[in-house]
Amino acid sequence: MYRVLTEMLLILTTISKTVFKSKNDLIIENLALRQQLSTYMAKKIKPIIKERDRSFWVALKKSWSTWTDTLIIVKPETVIHWQRRLFKRHWAKISSKNKRCGRTITKKEIKDLIYQMARENRWGAPRIYSELLMLGYTKNEISQSTVSRYLRRYTSSNPDHKRRQSWITFLKNHRQAISAMDLFVVPTVHFTFAYVFFIIEHARRKILHFNVTGNPSAEWVMQQLREAFPFDSIPKYLIFDRDSIFSLHVKQCIKNMHIQPKLISYQAPWQNGIAERWIL
């Protein structure tokens, strides 16, 4: 860096001396330069071009529109090539300072948790990823694509491990036996909020039950379930999201009614898409 600054200072000093020279001195210097150039062109001696010469002509190209008229030692295309090379070298140096080599290494404890959840619960990548986020791991430490990659490794290394069917396959195979429930908020004219609870059937997208309250609770939700499914008119599966009102008591009530509760994954409203679309 010091050498480059020294060379640039030398070039600026030479230019300043040329500017303040008298007319006679400039004529004599011009004659001397022309004599040297004629000698060079006669003997065809290849000049030694240094880095400061390249920098000088690149700077001259940017500041002088007729720079090609006095260029003899090289072709104009060569100066353009020097400029492009300096440009590439400049940005390569800047990029190398902020470049991060490779992706972040996944911690061993996260890998072990992924394999443990896959082995004990047979969960898919979205469910395992949501569980890892709830355990306190950040999105910078783990992503859903990384979880999928480790799940593929685990499945390929364990041939006895049966892959769990995807959520879309589950919906297609059991559409006639699935219902979904959800809760949404409606503002009123009195500047209060009304909470609407509903249960929808997947097969015909029919609303089986709905009710409105100003103070929803788990006990109120359980009562709505009893009213929605009297006697033997119960579905095989009931889908719902991770709203805090659907507590463990609600899940146990669903099981006591001989219905299998299906909790959707964390931040995956598409898994309860029919109920979400009815709300919209």
Domain ranges of the chain: 2-98, 108-164, 168-279
For residue 46, name the pLDDT band (cuts at 50, 70, 90). low
Asked whether the predicted pLDDT for residue 102 surpasses 60, the reply is: no
Average pLDDT for 162-173: 73
Structure-token match 């109120």, residue found: 220
**Considering only 84-88, 101-105, 130-134, 169-173, which range has the smallest mean pLDDT?**
101-105
Structure-token match 């972040």, residue found: 104
- The two tokens of residue 115 are 């394999």
**Radius of gyration (C-alpha) of the chain in whole angstroms:** 38
pTM (predicted TM-score): 0.46
Give the per-residue pLDDT at 178: 93
Amino acid at the residue 9 = L
Q: Report which of 182, 225, 231 is spatially closest to residue 202, judged by C-alpha positions.
A: 182
Domain 168-279 adopts which CATH fold? Nucleotidyltransferase; domain 5 (3.30.420)
Phi and psi based region of residue 186 (left: phi greater than 0; alpha: psi -120 to 50; beta: remaining)? beta
Asked whether the predicted pLDDT for residue 154 surpasses 50, the reply is: yes
Give the per-residue pLDDT at 253: 92
Give the per-residue pLDDT at 16: 59
Average pLDDT for 58-69: 74
Instruction: Specify burial of residue 247 (Cβ count, 10 A radius: 0-12, 13-18, 19+).
Output: middle
Please, what is the end-to-end C-alpha distance for the chain in angstroms? 63
Give the per-residue pLDDT at 269: 86
Higher-pLDDT residue of 71, 9: 71
